[in-house]
A and B are shown apart, each in its own frame.
Chain A
Amino acid sequence: MQVKLVYFAWVRERVGRPDETAEVPAEVATVAELVRWLKSRGEEYAYAFENEGVVRAAIDHVHVQPDAALAGAREIAFFPPMTGG
């Protein structure tokens, strides 16, 4: 599955790029599985996701939990807890 990944704030800085297009293997079915797959790709991802409980995710502009399915996703975002307002 080809999907656009986007990163924000210190997650973006740790990964080293604001976005990328990834060819995600079919067996990677959830957000948590995607994080594990990314962590296996390089130390920048291992660093960005070193504390998996902290990084939040959104699929196509909607907040999701780690068990959310990736099926049909066009854009998946990873970012720290929000500090706006």
Chain B
Amino acid sequence: MSLTIHVQRESFDIADEIAALTAGRSDIGAVVTFTGLCRDEAGRLAALELEHYAGMAEAELRRVAEEARQRWSLQGLTIIHRFGMVAPGETIVLVATASVHRGAAFAAAEFLMDYLKTRAPFWKREHLADGRTGDWVEAAAHDDVAAARWRTI
């Protein structure tokens, strides 16, 4: 299985990432992508600032990817997570999964997002439209619930 993990300041191109995931492959029947974007919360936000724990961020994304690889039969997997300032409309995160049939790719992509939201060491802080620096975003209880449903007994 091909595995690509990037933690980067720069934006990314979804089409380029899908092309890289499938390049030279004839065994892939399904690619699922999830893209997380920065939203402006009805005009309230100028940007989100993403702080991250360099080193652990990459390591934790790799562990989450490894867990997905063990649970589903995947041909390839790409995770990109940005840090730094992200403006509304820009991308924050990409998860792309490739499999022979669609079921594994759909399930693995959802699992990866649920897990990385609660495990990958990134923290969002709001920058407000009026120029002030806002608060740190609080973790959402529904993200813990979403991650917990993948837990095996």
Contact = CB atoms under 8 A, between A and B. Distances in A.
A binds B: yes
Interface of A: 6, 8-10, 58, 61-63, 77, 79-85
Contacts, number: 73
Interface residues of B, number: 29
A62 B60 CA distance: 7
B116 interface: yes
B113 A84 contact: no
Contacts of B139: 80-83
B136 A82 contact: no
Contacts of A84: 50, 52, 81, 92-93, 116-117, 120-124
Interface of B: 36, 50-53, 55-56, 59-60, 81, 92-93, 113, 116-125, 136-140, 143
Contact of B137 (A8, A79, A83): A83
* Residue among A77, A80, A82 facing the most chain B CB atoms (10 A cut-off): A82
Contact of B124 (A61, A62, A77, A83): A83
B105 to A, nearest CB: 19
